[in-house]
Amino acid sequence: MTFSERLFNNIQSIWNQNHQHPFVQGIGKGTLPKEMFQEYMKQDYVYLIQYAKLYAIGVQKANDLASMTHFAQLLHNILHFEMNVHREYASQFGITTEELEQTKPTPNNLAYTSYMLSVAQNGTLAELISCLLPCAWDYWEIGKLLKKQYGHQLENNPYKTWIETYSSDEFGSIALWLIKLLDEITIGKSEDELAVLENHFQITSKYEYLFWEMLMSGQDWPL
Ligand SMILES: Cc1ncc(C[n+]2csc(CCO)c2C)c(N)n1
């Protein structure tokens, strides 16, 4: 069994709860209130700004030129394509790019990105990938699942672009590349080292859940 197969098998119960989350299901059905999606675009925009830095650290920590080039490509794509989906949704809602950028991250959002950046800066390349992988991989799983469940009724769904983006093969190729690299660099690692990596993978998977929770509950700073 590869390391990614082990991660995938052990994460099922957590990811299932992500997939069944009312926020995710609301996107699939197209019933999620617009104001909630607007808030999501704002929070996710500042999340992605921090996430993009993880790819930059990937460039720095990569062990060979091919991986370095690939991380640089992912960095370019997130800034120019993924964040563009947010900018376009925001402009439909009358939110400017400046407003998106000035969004103050909620406690859960800040905790999630701070965790990943701390591990990225202090840890190994394998630790960095273990942290950023649930984001790419579970979103692809969510995209595919929603497409399967609700694909026949997407025409009137305001979140169709979101579902089409995250269920696409192009998007899936990001997760597949990260999985392949992680499998390669974990060959021969001890059980203790693998357990550290799996812990990062589980924590950031749980932060994915907390991100949906924070949006659903309208979490904000109390003071
Ligand atoms: C909270 C949150 N988690 C995951 C994603 C999805 N995502 C963000 S960056 C990226 C990889 C792009 O190279 C993916 C899949 C998101 N948008 N917001």
Ligand 1 centroid to residue 113 C-alpha, Å? 11
Q: Does 51 contact ligand 1 (Cβ within 6 A)?
A: yes
What pLDDT is stored for residue 127 in this prediction?
Answer: 98
Q: Does 89 contact ligand 1 (Cβ within 6 A)?
A: no
Q: Does 78 contact ligand 1 (Cβ within 6 A)?
A: yes
* Rounded-to-integer distance, Cα 154 and Cα 146, Å: 10
What pLDDT is stored for residue 53 in this prediction?
Answer: 98
User: What's the whole-number mean pLDDT along residues 172-184?
Assistant: 98
Best substitution site from 54, 82, 163, 215 to test ligand 1's pocket, by max atoms within 8 Å of Cβ?
82
Task: Give the position, in ligand 1's atom list, of the atom nearest the Cα of 77.
Answer: 13
Q: Does 136 contact ligand 1 (Cβ within 6 A)?
A: yes
Per-residue pLDDT tens over the stretch 66-102: 999 999 999 999 999 889 989 999 999 999 999 999 9
**pLDDT-based confidence at 46, cuts 50/70/90?**
very high
The pTM assigned to this predicted structure is 0.97
What pLDDT is stored for residue 161 in this prediction?
Answer: 94
User: What's the whole-number mean pLDDT along residues 43-72?
Assistant: 98
Give this complex's ipTM: 0.95
What pLDDT is stored for residue 199 in this prediction?
Answer: 98
Q: Is 135 one of the catalytic residues?
A: yes
Q: Is 5 one of the catalytic residues?
A: no
44 neighbors 83 (Cβ within 8 angstroms): no
| Structural domains in the chain, sorted by start | 12-214 (1.20.910.10)
Q: Does 82 contact ligand 1 (Cβ within 6 A)?
A: yes
Per-residue pLDDT tens over the stretch 128-151: 999 999 999 999 999 999 999 999
For all residues of the chain together, what is the average pLDDT?
Answer: 97
